[in-house]
């Protein structure tokens, strides 16, 4: 096998890192210190229908984004702009309600 073919065929068991646990693997999932905790700076997000009826409440923008299937930055932009998302929902955060 030529040297270039050996470099290309480094998948699975041929990879030199195969079977080695990464150092940060123990800091993921249930072993992570922030697992199932909400960050101290997270704000409550309220999702309202166009009729101004409360539809859902979330503990963070990330949780709201997961529910909608979009990126967190999209939720943040719609909160700041006050625009209607997908002709369905408006978003408000806990700091805007005070």
Q: For CA atoms 35, 44, 89, 56, give the dihedral sign.
A: positive
What is the distance between the alpha carbons of residues 57 and 55, in angstroms, rounded to a whole number?
A: 7
What does the pLDDT read at residue 48?
96
Flag whether pLDDT at 87 surpasses 90: yes
Q: What is the pTM of this model?
A: 0.58
Unique residue bearing structure tokens 């967190």: 72
pLDDT above 90 as % of the chain = 46
Mean pLDDT value across the chain: 82
What does the pLDDT read at residue 25?
63
**Does 3-93 carry CATH code 1.10.10.10?**
yes
What does the pLDDT read at residue 4?
56
Flag whether pLDDT at 98 surpasses 50: no
Flag whether pLDDT at 64 surpasses 70: yes
């Amino acid at each position: 096998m030529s040297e270039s073919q050996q470099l290309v065929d480094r998948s699975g068991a041929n990879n030199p890192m195969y079977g080695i646990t990464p150092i940060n693997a123990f800091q993921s999932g249930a072993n992570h210190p922030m697992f199932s905790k909400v960050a101290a700076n997270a704000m409550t997000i309220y999702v309202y229908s166009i009729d101004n009826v409360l539809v859902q409440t979330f503990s963070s923008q990330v949780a709201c984004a997961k529910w909608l299937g979009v990126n967190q930055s999209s939720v943040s932009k719609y909160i700041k702009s006050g625009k209607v998302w997908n002709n369905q929902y408006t978003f408000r955060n806990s700091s805007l309600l005070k």
